[in-house]
Amino acid sequence: MPTAIILGSGTSNGVPMAGFRYSRDYLANPKNHRTRAALLLEGPAGNVLVDCPPELRLQLTREEIYSLESVIITHTHADHVMGMDDLRSFCILQRSDMPVLTLEEHQAAIRRIYPYAFPPKPEGIEVPQFDFVPFADHVRMGGMELDLFVVMHGSMPVIGLRSGGFAYVTDVSYIPPEAEAKLQGLDTLVLDAVRLKPHPNHFNLEQALAKIEEFRPKKTYLTHLSHDYDHDKTNATLPPGVELAYDGLRIDF
Ligand SMILES: [Zn+2]
């Protein structure tokens, strides 16, 4: 059975946010410590990584991930791509380029940030090598069938995915009808709910809960979370079947 691991459940600042003073009570709960948003899908034939936040090395070592078959980059905001250099060790250990699936409009930003990860490969220096895989509505990765779709994050397109009864939709402020069609009849949905106040580029809690009412997945975990949320206190107020995600959460699907 494939497993989804929430590598990071935090918004772009991470939680705790640098420079911000928190109460001792808040920091005492490990579930209030959120690295930036990423997901790992452990399939029967390999691991698929979704996004590369700045804490990627720490996330992958924490979860004891020893191989990566391919990487999906949902979009190129800093909190989703600034860990891509850490893919270097997998390129070295697996002696191969890393397949990176993203939308065509996101490829240029990745080439600009990581020019050394594309040919020509320098002699005698260890660098990551990325090999772009074109976006498709349906792909097979890690022995899993993945349906990919596009949602909007402000004006930026973002990749969402579904495999079996599991779906992951991070960084979203609008779900087009084609994507909504892929989010029906789910066992588990992981959905962006960045904070309590409205946000121009993300669902806030109220908007996420309204979508959950519409799609009615059996279980929903909210992710890309700011420090507005105190894990246990918030969970006590959420409707049945809805909980906050946390770093290290594992979901079989
Ligand atoms: Zn974003």
- 250, part of any domain: no
User: What is the CATH classification number for the domain harbouring 181?
Assistant: 3.60.15.10
Tokens 């078959």 correspond to: 69
CA of 153 to the centre of ligand 1 (A): 7
- 228, part of any domain: yes
CA of 122 to the centre of ligand 1 (A): 32
- 211, part of any domain: yes
CA of 77 to the centre of ligand 1 (A): 5
* 8 A C-beta contact, residue 229 and residue 10: no
CA of 120 to the centre of ligand 1 (A): 30
H helices present in 68-175, as ranges = 78-81, 88-94, 104-113
pLDDT of residue 121: 87
What tokens appear for 61 in the block? Answer: 């070592």
pLDDT of residue 153: 98
User: Helix (H, G, I), strand (E, B), or coil: what is residue 233?
Assistant: helix
Please give the tally of structural domains in the chain. Answer: 1
pLDDT of residue 27: 98
CA of 34 to the centre of ligand 1 (A): 16
What tokens appear for 143 in the block? Answer: 């022995």
223 contacts: CB under 8 Å, gap ≥ 6: 6, 9, 37, 170, 190, 191, 192, 193, 244, 245
CA of 201 to the centre of ligand 1 (A): 8
67 contacts: CB under 8 Å, gap ≥ 6: 46, 47, 90, 93, 94
Phi, psi of 243 (to 5 degrees): -140, 160
- 222, part of any domain: yes
CA of 29 to the centre of ligand 1 (A): 26
Provide the residue-wise pLDDT of the chain in tens; the chain has 253 residues.
899 999 999 999 999 999 999 999 999 999 999 999 999 999 999 999 999 999 999 999 999 999 999 999 999 999 999 999 999 999 999 999 999 999 999 999 999 999 999 999 888 889 999 999 999 999 999 999 999 999 999 999 999 999 999 999 999 999 999 999 999 999 999 999 999 999 999 999 999 999 999 999 999 999 999 999 999 999 999 999 999 999 999 999 9
d(CA 121, CA 119): 5
- 52, part of any domain: yes
d(CA 126, CA 46): 24
Nearest Cα neighbor of 170 from 46, 63, 36, 47 is: 36
- 112, part of any domain: yes
d(CA 87, CA 66): 12
* 8 A C-beta contact, residue 74 and residue 51: yes
The H or E element containing residue 223 is strand 219-223
- 136, part of any domain: yes
Which residue range(s) make up the domain with 212?
3-245
CA of 83 to the centre of ligand 1 (A): 14
- 251, part of any domain: no
Phi, psi of 151 (to 5 degrees): -115, 170
User: Helix (H, G, I), strand (E, B), or coil: what is residue 6?
Assistant: strand
